[in-house]
Amino acid sequence: MRILVGVVLFALPAAVHAQTAIQATGAVNVRSGPGTGYGVLGQVPAGHVYAAASKSGDWWKIWWNGGMGWTHGSLWTSPSGLTGVKGTVDTLNVRTGPGTGYGVIGQIYMGQIHVWIQYEGLGGWYKITFAGGVGYVHGGYVTRVALSGGAPTGGGTTTNLSMTHAYQQTNYWCGPATAHMTVLHETGSWISQQTYANYMGTDVTGQTYVEDLRRGINHYGGLGCAVVWSGFDHARVRRHINQGRCVPINVRVDFLPYWGTSAAWGHYSPIKGYTSDGYYIHDSWKGPNRWASKTAVWNAVTYNNNAWYARVP
């Protein structure tokens, strides 16, 4: 079955290359070939994640706007614990929103893999990274694939959970998004952010209270989450991750360098992995696998509400 009439433009590369995730460490040019002498096709913003098709020397080949592009490896890191979606039809439209009424911004082709960052469960649409931005493809014409990673920023990875990322949705904010990611990871239950918001009483300002987030996670996930007010315990957090459990935290974002702000906003997101000197956070606003040092995370938690979420006992 096809969405558009088309042909297979690109063969699927070797699996080891097709399933490598790379994340831009800054704004990165995408070129028509593996060298600075080739023309610039566009630019990937900092933090965006792509699935690489192959590598030539120091250059990665990525799927770009219905075709291919090249980008220099020194400007990327390789996060792990992500999943991608692979096209299963000759040609598939990428749209501006999760529905056929939204405009078409390009196509992906059979065998191409793109990182997905949100799944609209009711309509079956995936939000994917596409051409330096995002777009939507219908889940009926793609299949999920695991993506591996290489050496991360901040030291060798000890553990980094394979966990779906979800951006916070307008009017539901970070508390419901964090509950959604936590319960989905640990139980496989897809509960909408709106459902969590309604249950937890998230108001129009985006405020979710610490105890309300605990209630939401326990009600829909049955996880036995408790709020820890007695200081951020690195050993306990890492023990939870080693047990396959993500760790929701409540932070002040100005202590997390990847936020790049001096504003002292409160914010929820789950920790999903750690290195020798820091943590990976599935940030519900800034994106998946955002790394921050142990000191930055400790300060961000301690100088906010000093609250994070552990399992009991």
CATH code, domain carrying 118: 2.30.30.40
Single residue among 150, 174, 203 that ends a domain in this structure: 150
Model confidence band, residue 4 (pLDDT cutoffs 50, 70, 90)? very low
* Together in a domain, 145 and 269: no
In whole angstroms, how far apart are CA 229 and each of 206, 224, 264? 22, 16, 19
Residue after which a domain boundary falls, among 150, 176, 208: 150
Omega before 313 within 30 of 0, i.e. cis: yes
For residue 148, the model assigns a pLDDT of 64
Show Cβ contacts of residue 8 under 8 Å, excluding neighbours closer than 6 positions. Answer: 90, 109, 110, 111
Share of the chain above pLDDT 90, in %: 37
| Whether residue 121 is found in the same domain as residue 69 | yes
Q: With contact defined as beta carbons under 8 Å apart, do 301 and 310 qualify?
A: no
* Token pair 């405009």 in the structure block, residue: 103
- Domain termination residue (choose one: 150, 183, 216): 150
pTM of the model: 0.53
- What count of other Cβ atoms lies within 10 Å of the Cβ of residue 79? 25
Same domain for 247 and 178? yes
| 280 in Cβ contact with 152 (< 8 Å) | yes
Average pLDDT, integer, range 256-265: 81
Angstrom distance (rounded) from CA 40 to CA 132 = 13
CA atoms of 74 and 57, how far apart (whole Å): 11
Tokens 């965006």 belong to which residue? 48
Does residue 51 sit in the same domain as residue 146?
yes
Task: Kindly state whether residues 275 and 143 are assigned to the same domain.
Answer: no
CB-CB contact of 222 with 187 (8 Å): yes
Q: Are residues 120 and 225 both part of a single domain? A: no
Please tell me the distance from the alpha carbon of residue 304 to that of residue 98, in angstroms, as a whole number.
35
Q: What is the CATH number of the domain that holds 258?
A: 3.90.70.10
pLDDT digits (tens, 9 = 90+) for 268-300: 999 999 987 789 999 999 899 888 888 788 888
Same domain, 186 and 251: yes
- Strongest mean pLDDT among 63-77, 214-228, 253-267: 214-228
Residues 270/237, Cβ–Cβ less than 8 Å: no
Q: What is the pLDDT of residue 77?
A: 74
Range of the domain at 296: 157-311
Same domain? For 88 and 165 the reply is no
Q: Residue 41's CB: how many other CB atoms inside 10 A?
A: 18
Judge if 211 and 307 occupy the same domain.
yes
Q: Which residues of 82-116 are buried (b: 16+ CB within 10 A; e: fewer)?
A: bbbbbbebbbbbbbeebeeeeeebebbbbbbbbbb
For the stretch 134-188, pLDDT in tens is 899 998 999 877 776 533 333 445 688 989 999 998 777 899 999 999 999 999 9
Asked if 25 and 145 sit in the same domain, the reply is yes
**304 plus 178 within the same structural domain:** yes
165 and 106 in a common domain: no
Domain count, the chain: 2
- Which pair of tokens denotes residue 184? 């989905």
**Greatest mean pLDDT among 45-59, 66-80, 205-219:** 205-219
Residue 64: burial class (beta carbons within 10 Å; 0-12, 13-18, 19+): buried
Residue type, 301: V
